[in-house]
Amino acid sequence: MKKIYLVTREKIFKNAKTYETHTDDLSIYALDGIKRGPDRIISDDTDPLDLFEELEQEFKDLNPTFRADSYAIRLEDGSEIPC
């Protein structure tokens, strides 16, 4: 069994004239532009990407006003699978 969860990131613009964005997680987190979905325990032989749509919908239901620009599934070891 392994634990996974969905990580969502929102582009945060630093300067409207040049459209620079915060790209590091610490800056995005400080501006409340990164959120995570609830933990999900899955079997070792389950492909996390098969659950993406379910995780995405669950996140949207819990955070209806959050606009996510990118999604990733984070594994127990801290690695991420971009979605």
Residue pLDDT, tens place only, 11-66: 776 666 665 666 667 666 666 678 889 999 999 999 999 999 999 999 999 999 88
pLDDT at 18: 62
Domain that holds residue 66: 2-82
Q: Is the pLDDT of residue 2 over 90?
A: yes
> Domain tally for the chain?
1
First to last CA, the chain: 21
CA distance 71 to 82: 6
pLDDT at 30: 61
CA distance 58 to 38: 8
